[in-house]
Amino acid sequence: MEPVVRLLADLVAIPSMNPMGRGHAGKHYQEQALADFIGSFLRQHGIDAQMQEVAPGRPNVVGIIDVKAPQTLLLEAHLDTAQVEGMTIEPFDPQIRDGRLYGRGSCDTKGSLAAFLQGTADVMTGVPTSNVVLLFVSDEEYRFTGAQHAVRCGLKADFGIVGEPTRLGIVRAHKGVTRWRIVTKGVAAHSAYPDRGKNAIYAMSKVLAQLEDYGNRLLRGERHPVLGTPTLSVGVIEGGQAVNVVPDRCWVEIDRRTLPGETARKAIEGVNTVLQDIPDWEAEAPYLAVAGMEISEDAPVVRRLESSITDVLGRATLESASYATDAGFYNSAGIPTVVFGPGDIAQAHTEEEFIELHQIHQAVDIIRRFLTT
Ligand SMILES: [Zn+2]
């Protein structure tokens, strides 16, 4: 087995599921074991590795290659994966069939992780032409706390790549996302005397009618040339204690996809404005706000990656995406960062997640060139 395939199989065999805020406990719902494995891989290849504790059992790994070059490149990928409920294959016993490796996280995004690690390790046998920061973060799938922690710890680089399955295309623009709750408050009463209470679910129904209308207006509104329009979706609702009680509380969770430059504050203000004539609701502070990003086609990171990809594949594609990534935080922190990696987002989080191994080999080759151009 080729070293990068062995490495990918090892990474997939170490569970690192994101608990998604649902009270799952135990080491399979932490990134610690995977971080330790990567830490020793880096040290074996002569790369200084440190842990940044984001939360107990949930570290970031930072590998530093300092060759005193004027330029520093960032290679980043997340350690956590989706959960495994409903999977029809063995999630943590990677199988290779028909040129594919099957297992949870193989595509999203341990394929990128393996390619970045192997590509960098290969380059370490000579001398890289740039300094390199390897950053592997916790908790991308739920709250993006690892990436935000790394930025708070003073992450510095001239430009970078975030590894996600893009089928080796360069994503140079993607939307952001802001998520928050709206709560309606009523007064509880016996359901036989509804006039003595105030029904928080009825109050929410008025809020929802406005939100649906607003979401439709966003879809007909101003379009970004490659990303289209911003969107709004209500994904969760909860309210009431029992059928014989007038509910005193109801809440919904809003997912608002933003365009580059559109702040979370502006997105929330837009919703507050459409609800201003409706009584009895309150907006909570956003629990997630990832900025959208857009990098020019002529930016050095795009040009350099484009030429590395063209050397290997014959051509490079520039794309955009509707999903948000850690790249939003790095771009906001002044590090121009694109999204690039092996694998297809269509296989991410699926019941039989896999990655095409030829893309892994190509990605290693591309990263080697990117680091030594
Ligand atoms: Zn991912």
Gap from CA of 162 to ligand 1 centroid (Å): 9
Gap from CA of 89 to ligand 1 centroid (Å): 20
* Distance (Å, whole) CA 180 – CA 43: 41
Per-residue pLDDT reduced to its tens digit, 158-182: 999 999 999 999 999 999 999 999 9
- What pLDDT sits at residue 215? 98
* Distance (Å, whole) CA 133 – CA 129: 13
- In Å, what is the CA distance from 13 to each residue of 6, 101, 349? 11, 12, 16
Gap from CA of 78 to ligand 1 centroid (Å): 7
Gap from CA of 332 to ligand 1 centroid (Å): 19
Gap from CA of 163 to ligand 1 centroid (Å): 8
Gap from CA of 122 to ligand 1 centroid (Å): 24
Domain boundaries, the chain: 3-174+293-372, 176-290
Q: What is the DSSP string of 250-299?
A: EEEEEEEEE-TT--HHHHHHHHHHHTTTS-SEEEPPPSEEE--EE--TTS
Among 126-135, 262-271, 310-319, 349-358, whose mean pLDDT is lowest?
126-135
Gap from CA of 228 to ligand 1 centroid (Å): 22
Gap from CA of 324 to ligand 1 centroid (Å): 9
> What CATH code is assigned to 176-290?
3.30.70.360
Q: How many CB atoms lie within 10 A of CB 298?
A: 7
Per-residue pLDDT reduced to its tens digit, 122-162: 999 888 899 999 999 999 999 999 999 999 999 999 999 99
Average pLDDT, the chain: 97
Does 23 score more than 90 pLDDT?
Answer: no
Residue 68, by phi and psi: left (phi above 0), alpha (psi -120 to 50) or beta? left
- pLDDT band for position 22 (cuts 50, 70, 90): confident
- pLDDT band for position 255 (cuts 50, 70, 90): very high
Does 370 score more than 90 pLDDT?
Answer: yes
Q: Beginning with the edge strand found earlier in the chain, give each strand of the sheet holding 354-356 in spatial order.
A: 95-97, 100-102, 354-356
Residue 66: both structure tokens together: 């300092």
Query: Are the C-beta atoms of residues 36 and 16 closer than 8 Å to each other?
Result: no
Gap from CA of 252 to ligand 1 centroid (Å): 25
Does 204 score more than 90 pLDDT?
Answer: yes
- Return the CATH number of 3-174+293-372, one of 3.40.630.10, 3.40.50.620, 3.40.50.12280, 3.40.50.920: 3.40.630.10
- pLDDT band for position 354 (cuts 50, 70, 90): very high
Q: Select from 38, 25, 140 the least CA-distant residue to 80.
A: 140
Taking 3-state DSSP, the helix, strand and coil percentages for the chain, each rounded to the nearest 5, stand at 35, 30, 40
Gap from CA of 189 to ligand 1 centroid (Å): 46
Does 63 score more than 90 pLDDT?
Answer: yes
Gap from CA of 283 to ligand 1 centroid (Å): 29
Gap from CA of 245 to ligand 1 centroid (Å): 42
Does 21 score more than 90 pLDDT?
Answer: no
Gap from CA of 200 to ligand 1 centroid (Å): 37
Query: Are the C-beta atoms of residues 114 and 38 closer than 8 Å to each other?
Result: no
Q: Can you tell me which residue has the tokens 């063995």? A: 90
Q: Which alpha helices (H) appear in the chain, and where do they start and end?
A: 3-12, 32-44, 111-123, 145-152, 200-220, 264-274, 300-313, 327-332, 357-372
Gap from CA of 140 to ligand 1 centroid (Å): 7
Gap from CA of 53 to ligand 1 centroid (Å): 20
Does 65 score more than 90 pLDDT?
Answer: yes
- In Å, what is the CA distance from 327 to each residue of 16, 152, 161, 162, 220? 21, 15, 8, 6, 28
- pLDDT band for position 362 (cuts 50, 70, 90): very high
